[in-house]
Structure 1
Amino acid sequence: MRIIHLNTYEGNGGAGRACMRLNDALNAHGAKSEVMVYYQFKESSKTKTFTKTRFQKAIAIFNILAERYLVKAFVKRLKTPFSLQWFGRSIYKHPDLKNADIIHLHWINHGFLSPKSLAALDELDKPIVWTFHDSNAFTGGCHVRYACENFHQQCGFCPLLKASGKDDISHKTWLRKMKAYAHLNFHIIAPSNWMASSIKISSLLGARDVRVIPNTIETHIFKPYVKAEAKKILKIAPEKFVLMSGFMPSTNDKHKGTAYLIEALVKFSKRPGVVKENVELVIFGNKDQAEMPEFPFKTTFLGNINNDEHLAKCYSAADAFITASLEDNLPNTVMESLACATPVIAFKTGGIPDMVKHLQNGYLAAYKSAVELANGMEWLYRLQDKEAIQKEARRTILTAFSPEVIAKEHLNLYKSLLEVHPR
Structure 2
Amino acid sequence: MFGGGSVGRIAVDCYRVLTNNDIESTIVYGRGVPPKDVTTYKIGNTAGIYLHVLLTRLFDACGYGSYFATKKLIRYLEEYNPDVIHMHNLHGYYINVFLLFDYLKKTNKRVIWTLHDCWSYTGHCPYYSLEKCEKWKTGCKKCIRKHEHPKSLFWDGSKRNYNDKRRSFCGVDRMTIVTPSQWLKREVQQSFLKEYPIEVINNGIDVNVFYPRDNSVREKYRIGDKFVILGVANVWGYPKGLDVFEYLADTLDFRKYQIIMVGLTEMQIKNIDKRILALKHTESVDELAELYSAADVFLNPTRCDNFPTTNLEAQACGTPVITFTGTGSPESVGCECGIIVEQNDLEGIKEAILECQKNPKSIEACVEHANNYKKEIAYTQYLELYMQG
TM-score range, shorter chain: 0.7 to 0.9
Distance 1:396 1:47, change over 3 A: farther
- Give aligned-pair identity as a percent: 21
SS where residue 276 of structure 1 aligns?
coil
Partner in structure 2 of residue 115 of structure 1: 98
Matched, 1:324 2:307: no
Alignment CA distance shift 1:396-1:342 (3 Å): same
- Return closer, same or farther for 1:30/1:320 CA change in 2, 3 Å cut-off: farther
Equivalent residue for 1:79? Answer: none
Q: 1:18 to 1:11 in 2, by over 3 A?
A: farther
**Which residue of the partner structure matches residue 395 of structure 1?**
368
Alpha-carbon offset, residue 213 of structure 1: 0.8
- Report the equivalent of 2:345: 369
Are 1:258 and 2:249 counterparts? Answer: no
> Which of the residues 161, 186, 189 maps onto 1:197?
186
Uncovered stretches (5+) of structure 1, i.e. residues with no partner: 1-8, 76-82, 270-274, 419-423
Among candidates 240, 254, 270, match of residue 226 of structure 2: 240
Q: 1:122 to 1:266 in 2, by over 3 A?
A: same
Task: Give the distance between the partners of 1:260 and 1:23, measured in 2 at CA.
Answer: 38
Q: In structure 2, what is the Cα distance between the partners aligned to 1:402 and 1:41?
A: 25
1:1-400 correspondence to structure 2 within 5 Å: 9-27=1-19, 31-41=23-33, 44-46=36-38, 48-51=40-43, 56-57=44-45, 61-73=46-58, 84-88=62-66, 89-90=70-71, 91-94=73-76, 98-109=80-91, 110-146=93-129, 147-161=132-146, 169-185=157-173, 186-202=175-191, 204-226=192-214, 228-232=215-219, 234-247=220-233, 253-267=237-251, 269=252, 276-289=254-267, 293-295=271-273, 298-358=275-335, 360-383=336-359, 385-386=360-361, 388=362, 390-399=363-372
Output the amino acid matched with 2:344: K
Q: Deviations over 1:291-347 (max 9, x none)?
A: 55554x833223121111222112111111112211200113222212222211111
Summarize deviations over 1:259-318 as a string: whole Å, max 9, x none: 233224433x1xxxxx522321212111115555554x8332231211112221121111
- Length-normalised TM-score, structure 2: 0.86
Q: Distance in 1 between matches of 2:133 and 2:386?
A: 34
Deviation at 1:366, TM superposition (A): 1.0
Query: 1:410 is matched with which residue: 379, 382, 389?
Result: 382
In 2, Cα distance between the equivalents of 1:264 and 1:176? 44
Structure 1 stretch 241-250 or stretch 365-374: which is displaced more? Answer: 241-250
Q: Find the aligned partners of 2:370 and 2:297 in 1 and give their Cα distance.
A: 16
The answer (yes or no) to whether the contact 1:281–1:299 under 8 Å persists in 2 is yes
Q: Which runs of 5+ in 2 are unaligned?
A: none
Higher mean C-alpha displacement, 360-369 vs 13-22: 13-22
CA RMSD of aligned residues (A): 2.8
The answer to whether the 8 Å contact 2:127/2:304 transfers is yes
* 1:205 match: secondary structure: helix
Change (3 A) 1:240 1:27: farther
Is the contact made by 2:249 and 2:259 (CA closer than 8 Å) also made in structure 1?
no
Amino acid at match of 2:126: H
Q: Count residues with an aligned counterpart.
A: 375
Change (3 A) 1:69 1:302: same
